[in-house]
Amino acid sequence: MAVQVPVQVRTEDLYRMALDEYHQLVKSGALEEARVELIGGLIVAMSAKTPAHEYVLMWLSEWLHTHADRVRYEVRNQSALTIIDSEPEPDLLLVERQGFRPYHPATAALVIEVCVSSHRRDLREKPILYAAADVPDYWVVDVDGRCAVHYTDPGPGGYATVREVDVLTARALPQQNLPVADVLRDLG
C-alpha cells in the first residue's frame, strides 16, 4: 500500500495556468475523466455529486426550461464560463442566444450553483468571479442548510448585495418568483 507523505506548498509556489494552456489540456483529452474546473489559473477538483444535489439540479433545470424566455436565452447545465483566468462550470446557466461560439460565454444572465459540500467555493470564491463577469444574478441553493443566497449588483470587488432569501428572483425572469421551499420540498 502506498503511503501519502504530507507536503507543504506555499500558494505563491503554485504554477498558475493560462486559459490557452488549460484549453490545450482539455482538447488533448488529458482531463477527460477528471471532474475539475479552472479557478484563478489553478485546476481544482469539483465536489462529488450527491443524490440530493442531482435532484435539486434536475428540479431547477426543469423550472428554468419552463419559465425562461427560450427565444432570448438558452439554459445550460454544468457548462463553462470563461472569466479572465478561470473557467468555472456552474450547475446551471442562463445565457443569451448567439448561435455557435468557438469559446465558452464570458457572462450569463443568471448563474446557479447547488451547494452540498462546496460551501467555501460557492459562497466565497465564485461570487468574485461571477461579479467580475458582470453576472447580474447569482443563486446558491444550499441543500444541507435548506436555504438560498441571492447575489446581485455585481462590481469589481464582488457583489454589493448578498442576502439569504425565501423567494428567488432574477432580472432575466421578470414576473417569476421561485419559492426556495418549493425547490427543497421533496428532500425530506
Averaged confidence pLDDT in the chain:
90
SS3 of residue 17 by DSSP: coil
Instruction: Give residue 44's Cα distance to chain centre.
Output: 13
**pLDDT tens for each residue of 52-82:** 999 999 999 999 999 999 999 999 999 999 9
The whole-model pTM stands at: 0.89
As a whole number of angstroms, the distance between CA 26 and CA 162 comes to 34
> What domains does the chain contain, in order, with CATH numbers?
48-187 (3.90.1570.10)
As a whole number of angstroms, the distance between CA 71 and CA 184 comes to 28
Is the pLDDT confidence value at 166 over 90?
A: yes
pLDDT attached to residue 91: 95
Write b or e for each residue in 5-22: b if 16 or more Cβ atoms lie within 10 A of its Cβ, otherwise e: eeeeeeeeeeeebebeeb
As a whole number of angstroms, the distance between CA 149 and CA 138 comes to 8
- In one-letter notation, the amino acid at residue 132 is A
Cell of 121: 467555493
